[in-house]
């Protein structure tokens, strides 16, 4: 690659991956060799599309193939190419280490849950490390820093002083614990990799594409590469922030190094007038925009659909996607932060025979494999309560080698004859006793075979629960022992073997292995309740993305959709709960203090989400925005950005942008796909004809 150190701003209406492909081809030192070029993306799901754009761009130069480039993410590329000598604990190991630190300092925050506190502290420590916030060794110096950030001239009030002491004490103890274990924090390892790469002499050229946010340390790293002529950055141009918003480090870098951008389209100018920060009132801006554009630049591309319920919203998205596919659109995106809506839309489309590429996935804890394991643990904890017990017995993961028809019959008889007719709600001993009593009362109608089969089933469950029974209480045990007993119990049920044939089950086994490796180096002992919290957090932390066939329909989150280009785009759940999806308020330090320390704050995230929403509207020639006025019996309000679009457009062009035709079609039963049923249709029944005796 030829040296360049500029940042190129790309309008939202252009395809940034296509622009990047032409940049790489135009600046290649010797085509078709791009092996010394490294392209870094925020998400690798768009790497295949970048490769296609590269092949299209190089074909115009007479080449049918390329050598390279390497396509990766910054974190993955640094981990693969710059080794760190010390051990780096994973999430589970970090959690155990920090809980151990918290238990060594019980007076720091008495009465708190160390497991909940550990998760918050890990997030805070990562932010402090990656944003290069110094934490002095002396508590007084740290307290003075916070006192200045809070704007307090005298001593910190008791709650704020406790906050300072807690963070400072645990920060130092955490790093002492890492040093004693000859380990290094993942954030510090990332900083070391960034520094080592910044000072290296490799002759590769780095092209960063599509980033809209980096930490302070990553921004410094990128700035040094740009200054040395070792990198080029292509980013979407953002809507200017309000004058009162302090600039973020990454935005400062872009503003100082950016090259010129191409002109705006009428669509871009209209969105700029609506969504950017302005001091003038909306009616004045609407009149000015109407004077510039007599016809609306938005009306042909942007439509809204207010639904009366969450189900109607899902039906509208399903119908719109099917209509676009019939019209021949090849790339359709469904973007939503509401996973419940995403799963309902997925079910509706699959009923119509349309598969989806689900890039968002869902929490591993919500898969059927994890649910089966959870119900089994509840069964042991609740003395074989009939509700979790029957769920377990009806799961395909339990006793997978048994004859399924025979097992279903046995479970049915247990549910009908013992649980319902004998009114037995829990307890293996009570189930066994009432099976015997029923057998004595009904020797003819209730055969010995049925009773024996149920008794054998209960015996197998009793044997499978034995490894966990003594631990599922108040006893303390090592996490390694608890994990091994869990493995043994699931093995007796056949559930562990069944997991091997299920993608989500295999992912649970991998997570179990990571937890076991972390537990083998820990001296922490935990109760059963703490173990359940630790295990549940691990399953909740990891997303499960099933392998799906190539499909023209993608299901994405707002962040994942940034580099895509679509023939049709639906943005669902445009309500105030999900758009923007802001992080929870951090438990430590308020926004002004975090701003003073150099940490990200909620207004930053809000502005970032607005930029992403704004860019996404320009990624397709046809965009549908939906929201539901009610969900689960609770009213919902439209998102402020959606409200601004609709109100402004109605002021300027007397059009509320509502897709009335789609709303009418959704209400018609013929627009829905009927499901298939393998059973024969029932025949109409008639009344028996009366018979008059001859006499």
Give the pLDDT confidence of 194-215 residue by residue, as tens digits: 999 988 888 889 999 999 888 8
Alpha-carbon distance of 276 to 245, in angstroms, equals 13
Q: Which of 408, 417, 407 is nearest to 445 (CA)?
A: 417
Query: What's the whole-number mean pLDDT along residues 270-298?
Result: 85
Residue of higher predicted confidence among 1 and 539: 539
Q: What is the pLDDT of residue 3?
A: 47
Q: How far is CA 421 from CA 406, 414, 457, in A?
A: 21, 10, 19
Contact of 77 with 40, CB cutoff 8 Å: yes
Task: Report the range of poorest mean pLDDT among 52-61, 129-138, 238-247.
Answer: 238-247
Rounded to 5 degrees, φ, ψ at 542 are -105, 135
Bridge-based pairing of strands 302-307 and 543-544 is: unpaired
pLDDT band per the 50, 70, 90 thresholds, residue 79: very high
Task: Report the range of poorest mean pLDDT among 104-108, 130-134, 191-195, 473-477.
Answer: 104-108
pLDDT band per the 50, 70, 90 thresholds, residue 157: low
Query: What's the whole-number mean pLDDT along residues 384-409?
Result: 92
Six token digits for residue 81: 């190419």
Six token digits for residue 587: 């438990």
Query: What's the whole-number mean pLDDT along residues 139-163?
Result: 69
pLDDT tens digit sequence for 502-528: 999 999 999 999 999 988 888 888 889
User: Of the spans 146-160, 436-450, 658-672, which averages the highest pLDDT?
Assistant: 658-672
Rounded to 5 degrees, φ, ψ at 234 are -110, 120
Q: Helix crossing, 216-227 with 114-130: angle to 10°?
A: 20
Q: How far is CA 663 from CA 189, 426, 616, in A?
A: 53, 50, 23
Residue of higher predicted confidence among 584 and 642: 642
pLDDT tens digit sequence for 40-68: 999 888 898 899 999 999 998 888 888 88
Contact of 318 with 349, CB cutoff 8 Å: yes
> Using the 8-state DSSP alphabet, how is residue 420 labeled?
I
- % of residues, the chain, pLDDT over 70: 91
Q: What is the pLDDT of residue 676?
A: 64
| pLDDT greater than 60 at residue 244 | no
Residue of higher predicted confidence among 77 and 674: 77
| pLDDT greater than 90 at residue 683 | no
Q: How far is CA 464 from CA 102, 410, 501, in A?
A: 35, 18, 21
Query: What's the whole-number mean pLDDT along residues 299-312?
Result: 92
Contact of 306 with 629, CB cutoff 8 Å: yes
Task: Report the range of poorest mean pLDDT among 297-306, 637-646, 676-685.
Answer: 676-685
Contact of 461 with 428, CB cutoff 8 Å: yes
Q: What is the pLDDT of residue 242?
A: 47
Q: Which of 625, 648, 513 is nearest to 578 (CA)?
A: 625
pLDDT band per the 50, 70, 90 thresholds, residue 451: confident
Q: What is the pLDDT of residue 673?
A: 81
Residue of higher predicted confidence among 411 and 440: 411
* DSSP codes joined into one string, 546-575: ------SEEEE-TTTTTT---SEEEE---B
* Contacting residues for 96 by C-beta, under 8 A, at least 6 apart: 479, 518, 519, 522, 524
pLDDT band per the 50, 70, 90 thresholds, residue 281: confident
Q: What are 70's strand-pairing partners? A: 38
* DSSP codes joined into one string, 452-471: HHHHHHHHHHHHHHHHHHTT
Residue of higher predicted confidence among 575 and 151: 575
Alpha-carbon distance of 560 to 581, in angstroms, equals 14
The mean predicted confidence, pLDDT, of the chain is 85
Bridge-based pairing of strands 302-307 and 623-628 is: parallel
Query: What's the whole-number mean pLDDT along residues 376-404?
Result: 92
* DSSP codes joined into one string, 357-386: EESS-EEGGGSHHHHHHHHHHHHHHTTS-H
Query: Any idea which residue has 């044997």 for tokens?
Result: 463
Q: What is the pLDDT of residue 587?
A: 76
Alpha-carbon distance of 184 to 125, in angstroms, equals 13
Dihedral through CA 569, CA 573, CA 575, CA 581, nearest 10? -90
Alpha-carbon distance of 502 to 512, in angstroms, equals 15
| pLDDT greater than 60 at residue 5 | no
> How many residues are listed for the chain in this entry?
695
Neighbours of 138 (CB within 10 A): 9
Residue of higher predicted confidence among 118 and 378: 378
- % of residues, the chain, pLDDT over 90: 34
DSSP helix/strand/coil, 332: strand
Alpha-carbon distance of 483 to 496, in angstroms, equals 13
Sheet holding 568-571, edge to edge: 302-307, 623-628, 568-571, 332-335, 553-556, 357-358
Q: What is the pLDDT of residue 681?
A: 65
Six token digits for residue 334: 């469904």
Residue of higher predicted confidence among 165 and 369: 369
């Amino acid at each position: 690659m030829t040296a360049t150190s500029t940042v190129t701003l790309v309008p939202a209406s252009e395809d940034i991956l296509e622009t990047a492909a032409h940049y790489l081809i135009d600046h290649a030192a010797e085509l078709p060799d791009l092996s010394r070029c490294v392209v870094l993306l925020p998400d690798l799901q768009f790497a295949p599309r970048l490769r296609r754009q590269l092949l299209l761009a190089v074909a115009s130069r007479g080449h049918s193939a390329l050598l390279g480039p390497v396509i990766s993410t910054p974190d993955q590329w640094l981990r693969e190419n710059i080794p760190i000598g010390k051990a780096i604990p994973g999430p589970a190991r970090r959690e155990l280490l920090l809980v151990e630190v918290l238990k060594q300092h019980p007076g720091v925050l008495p009465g708190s849950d160390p497991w909940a506190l550990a998760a918050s502290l890990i997030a805070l420590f990562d932010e402090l490390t990656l944003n290069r916030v110094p934490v002095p060794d002396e508590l007084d110096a740290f307290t003075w820093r916070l006192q200045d950030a809070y704007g307090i001239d005298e001593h910190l009030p008791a709650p704020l002083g406790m906050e300072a002491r807690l963070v400072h004490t645990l920060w130092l103890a955490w790093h002492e614990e890492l040093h004693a274990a000859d380990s290094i924090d993942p954030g510090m390892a990332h900083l070391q990799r960034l520094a080592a790469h910044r000072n290296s002499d490799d002759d590769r050229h780095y092209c960063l594409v599509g980033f809209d946010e980096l930490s302070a340390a990553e921004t410094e790293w990128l700035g040094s590469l740009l200054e040395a002529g070792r990198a080029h950055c292509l980013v979407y141009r953002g809507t200017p922030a309000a004058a009162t918003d302090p600039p973020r480090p990454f935005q400062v870098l872009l503003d100082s190094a950016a090259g010129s951008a191409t002109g705006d389209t009428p669509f871009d100018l209209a969105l700029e007038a609506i969504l950017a920060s302005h001091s003038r009132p909306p009616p004045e801006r609407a009149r000015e925009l109407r004077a510039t554009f007599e016809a609306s630049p938005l009306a042909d591309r942007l439509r809204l659909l207010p639904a009366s319920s969450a189900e109607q919203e899902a039906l509208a998205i399903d119908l719109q996607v099917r209509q676009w596919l019939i019209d021949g659109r090849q790339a359709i995106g469904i973007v939503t932060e509401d996973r419940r809506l995403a799963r309902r839309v997925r079910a509706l489309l699959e009923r119509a025979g349309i598969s989806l590429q689900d890039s968002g996935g869902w929490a591993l804890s919500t898969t059927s494999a994890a649910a089966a394991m959870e119900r089994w643990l509840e069964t042991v904890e609740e003395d074989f309560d009939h509700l979790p017990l029957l769920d377990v017995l009806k799961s395909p993961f339990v006793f997978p080698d048994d004859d399924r028809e025979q097992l279903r019959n046995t479970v049915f008889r247990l549910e009908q004859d013992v649980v319902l007719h004998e009114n037995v709600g829990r307890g293996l001993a009570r189930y066994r006793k009432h099976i015997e009593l029923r057998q004595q009362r009904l020797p003819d109608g209730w055969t010995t075979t049925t009773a024996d089969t149920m008794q054998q089933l209960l015996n197998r469950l009793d044997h499978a629960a034995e490894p966990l029974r003594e631990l599922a209480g108040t006893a303390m045990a090592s996490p390694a022992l608890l994990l091994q007993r869990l493995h043994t119990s699931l093995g007796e049920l056949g559930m562990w073997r069944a997991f091997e044939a299920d993608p989500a089950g295999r992912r649970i086994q991998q997570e179990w292995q990571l937890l076991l490796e972390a537990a083998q180096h820990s001296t922490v002992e935990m109760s059963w309740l703490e173990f359940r919290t630790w295990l549940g957090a691990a399953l909740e932390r990891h997303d499960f993305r099933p392998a799906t066939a190539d499909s023209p329909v993608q299901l994405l989150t707002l962040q994942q959709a940034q580099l895509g280009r679509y023939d049709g785009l639906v943005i669902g759940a445009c309500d105030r709960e999900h758009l923007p999806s802001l992080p929870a308020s951090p438990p430590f330090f308020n926004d002004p203090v975090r701003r003073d320390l150099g940490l990200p704050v909620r207004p930053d995230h809000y502005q970032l989400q607005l930029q992403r929403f704004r860019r996404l509207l320009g990624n397709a020639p046809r965009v549908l925005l939906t929201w539901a006025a009610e969900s689960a019996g609770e009213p919902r309000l439209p998102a402020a950005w959606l409200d601004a679009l609709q109100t402004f457009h109605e002021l300027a062009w007397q059009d509320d942008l509502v897709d009335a035709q789609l709303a009418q079609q959704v209400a018609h039963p013929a627009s829905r796909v009927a499901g298939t049923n393998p059973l024969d249709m029932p025949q109409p029944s008639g009344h028996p004809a009366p018979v008059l005796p001859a006499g």
